Amino acid sequence: MKTFAVAIDLHKRAEVLRDEYLNAKPWPHVVVANGFPDDFLDEIADEVANIDQSHIISSLDVRQIKQEASQGFGPATQHFFDLVDGESFREFISTVTGVDNLLSDPSHKLAGAHRTPPGGYTKIHRDFEMHPDTGLFHRVNLLVYLNRDWPDSYGGSLELWPTDMSAIGRRVFPRFNTMVLWETHGGTLHGLPDPVRCPPNRMRLSVASYYYTKECRPAAAGERRGGRYWAARPEDDRSIEHVGWLDRARSVTPEPLKFWFRAARDQLVRRRPN
């Protein structure tokens, strides 16, 4: 099968990609072009763009406007997740990142399919530390972009920032068949902070798989832990970093309950008459 052959090819490149990963700025990561067959990703893009609305969970606030789905995938999308969550691909990821004993997440909660509509964004942030259901520690992120014919004017770049937020470290344009891989922790600040400028009939599309370990990693230098998730760029309103009463409430609310509230809210919105 063609997708299996691609996985083997990536595995052969793992040591070279490891060198790129270790030397990347502002923190270790790697960006890989054309890691998967184009026709395979075209099928996935079509499925992601047309996921049934009942499976979509939306984030709608001053810090992020986006959509995600952890279920309801089409056959090509499910095959992608079977591939990247498999043992061989996890071994490849461990070689590149240096994080051993990685576990996949069959539920794909908070990962899965991501869609950013026109005007959508996600401010610079650190990721969650622990899986909301299993209690496993969140260690590695894999993103693959699905955006064909996406001119620079549409925006949508992933920005990588150092912990001191002094200056952007790297901007990754969300070109079709671009894979981004990094170990996630409180020092790997990233986001899509500027509103997407695509036409109303388009969305910025990606698929994401997150990987976990049973053990917590030691804190990195400058790492943010605790309730402070968001970071302002020099040109941003610093109020996005403010930890208010709602943030504090969220910080003590169990992750499964937060996910349930978001899903229930979306169901109510869908049922409202136009």
CB 213 within 8 A of CB 139: yes
Cα–Cα dist 161/188, whole Å:
7
Could you tell me if residue 76 is inside a domain? yes
Give residue 242's identity as a one-letter amino acid code: H
pLDDT, position 199: 98
Residue 266 covered by a domain: no
Report residue 109: phi and psi, to 5°.
Answer: -65, 130
Q: Are 26 and 158 in contact (CB under 8 A)?
A: no
User: What pLDDT was estimated at residue 122?
Assistant: 98
Residues 270 and 53: beta-carbon distance below 8 Å: yes
- Note the pTM of the prediction, 2 decimals: 0.88
pLDDT at position 34: 92
Residue 207 falls within a domain, yes or no? yes
Q: Answer yes or no: are the C-beta atoms of 183 and 99 closer than 8 Å.
A: yes
pLDDT in tens, the chain (274 residues): 566 556 558 888 999 999 999 999 999 999 999 999 999 999 999 999 999 999 999 988 899 999 999 999 999 999 999 999 999 999 999 999 999 999 999 999 999 999 999 999 999 999 999 998 899 999 999 999 999 999 999 999 999 999 999 999 999 999 999 999 999 999 999 999 999 999 999 999 999 999 999 999 877 666 665 557 899 999 999 999 886 545 555 555 565 666 666 666 555 645 555 4
pLDDT in the model for residue 121: 98
Q: What angle do CA 72, 139, 174 make, to 5 degrees?
A: 60
| Inside any domain, residue 236 | yes
Q: Is residue 22 a part of any domain in this protein?
A: yes
Is 264 inside a domain boundary?
A: no
DSSP string, 35-47: -S-HHHHHHHHHH
Find the CATH number of the domain harbouring 94.
2.60.120.620
Asked if 70 and 64 count as a contact pair (C-beta separation under 8 A), the reply is no
Closest-CA residue to 107 (of 135, 148, 145): 135
Range of the domain at 57: 2-259
Interior/surface letters 3-14, b for 16+ CB within 10 angstroms, e for the rest: eeebbeebbeee
Residue 141 lies in a domain: yes
**Domain count for the chain:** 1
Residue 170 CA neighbour count, 13 Å, CB half? 17
Give the model's pLDDT for residue 258. Answer: 60
